[in-house]
């Protein structure tokens, strides 16, 4: 006799006894054997990779550690951070401007903004960087004065546009085009009724945009902007072609002399990983900050393993 049957037919009635209330029966969670198989396969692969990393001569972790904080590398890192910060500042300020122009009822502004985005998104960033770097070949002297009239200030292009300035122009103006589209999307995501309410209270379109619409658009704009910052961090590595010593170019210069290519590239990889990880954390904090006004319920715990567990009662 293998245990007693769950349901015994009720004598005489010809039908089963009423099923017990569900609360009194134990539920056994579904098993997921394939997940465990998957974990096992991944664990083996990870172990192989780690073993190769640790034992392969080419990686040479000692050299990596030695160059992580070498002066030229830190200088390059600083240049990359500066480039990213300035590019994003230009991108955000210019992006708001171009997006506002694009959505303006003024057809001249709107078309100029469209043209800008079309042009700057169509030409590869690498080409734009080379173009700014070589601007001196096109316009040997840059001058400021009355159009078609006398010149007030004039300077040689190559003295005015250093590699750093060329990098800022190239990265910044390119970024403006992408940020403009991100802001345009954000602005369009705010219901039109918000603008109408602002106008009906006597605000001008500009005040309505800056006081009412943009603050609400920010919430939508943060995730793609976070991606853009990370793109700029990595995209800034392109400036090595115009001889600007950023993180990548600084390690390239070192391995050109000592031929320790892989360890030095690893130095760059690790620094890029650290930068993007910090930026992702910053993005998370920003999103939390700007989600406040929409929170109907207390927000989810940031620790994934705590989700679904009710927060402790305040006592």
Q: Which residues bind other proteins (CB under 8 A)?
A: 191, 193-194, 196-205, 207, 211-212, 215-216, 292-296
Q: What does the block give as tokens for 208?
A: 């309505």
d(CA 158, CA 137): 9
d(CA 235, CA 126): 9
State in angstroms the smallest separation of the CB of 297 from other proteins: 10
Task: Output the CA–CA distances (angstroms, integers) from residue 118 to 87, 107, 110, 128, 229, in the order listed.
Answer: 19, 16, 12, 14, 21
State in angstroms the smallest separation of the CB of 283 from other proteins: 19
State in angstroms the smallest separation of the CB of 295 from other proteins: 8
Nearer to other proteins, 28 or 192 (CB): 192
State in angstroms the smallest separation of the CB of 115 from other proteins: 25
State in angstroms the smallest separation of the CB of 216 from other proteins: 5
Q: What one-character-per-residue DSSP string does 269-280 give?
A: HHHHHHHHHHHH
Nearer to other proteins, 156 or 215 (CB): 215
Instruction: Residue 96: name the closest of 12, 256, 210 by CA.
Output: 210
Nearer to other proteins, 32 or 292 (CB): 292
d(CA 212, CA 233): 31
Nearer to other proteins, 198 or 254 (CB): 198
Nearer to other proteins, 121 or 211 (CB): 211
Q: What does the block give as tokens for 114?
A: 């469209």
């Amino acid at each position: 006799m293998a245990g007693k049957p769950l349901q015994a037919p009720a004598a005489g009635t010809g039908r089963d006894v009423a099923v017990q209330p569900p609360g009194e029966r134990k539920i056994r969670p579904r098993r997921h054997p394939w997940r465990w198989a998957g974990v096992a396969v991944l664990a083996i692969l990870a172990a192989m990779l780690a073993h190769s990393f640790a034992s392969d001569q080419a990686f040479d972790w000692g050299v990596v550690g030695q160059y992580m904080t070498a002066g030229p590398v830190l200088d390059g890192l600083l240049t990359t951070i500066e480039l990213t910060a300035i590019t994003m500042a230009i991108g955000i300020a210019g992006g708001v401007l171009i997006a506002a122009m694009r959505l303006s009822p003024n057809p001249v502004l709107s078309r100029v903004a469209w043209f800008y985005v079309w042009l700057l998104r169509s030409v590869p960033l690498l080409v734009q960087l080379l173009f700014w770097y070589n601007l001196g070949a096109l316009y040997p002297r840059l001058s400021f004065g009355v159009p078609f009239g006398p010149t007030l200030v004039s300077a040689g292009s190559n003295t005015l546009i250093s590699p750093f300035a060329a990098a800022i122009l190239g990265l910044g103006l390119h970024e403006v085009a992408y940020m403009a589209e991100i802001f345009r999307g954000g602005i369009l995501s705010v219901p039109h009724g918000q603008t109408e309410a602002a106008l009906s209270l006597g605000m001008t379109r500009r005040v309505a945009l800056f006081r009412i619409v943009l603050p609400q658009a920010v919430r939508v704009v943060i995730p793609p902007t976070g991606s853009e910052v990370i793109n700029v961090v990595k995209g800034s590595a392109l400036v090595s072609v115009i001889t600007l010593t950023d993180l990548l170019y600084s390690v390239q210069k070192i391995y050109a002399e000592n031929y320790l290519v892989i360890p030095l590239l690893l130095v760059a990889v690790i620094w890029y990983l650290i930068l993007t990880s910090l930026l992702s954390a910053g993005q998370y904090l920003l999103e939390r900050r700007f989600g406040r006004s929409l929170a109907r319920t207390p927000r989810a715990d940031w620790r994934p393993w705590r989700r679904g567990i009710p927060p402790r009662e305040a006592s």
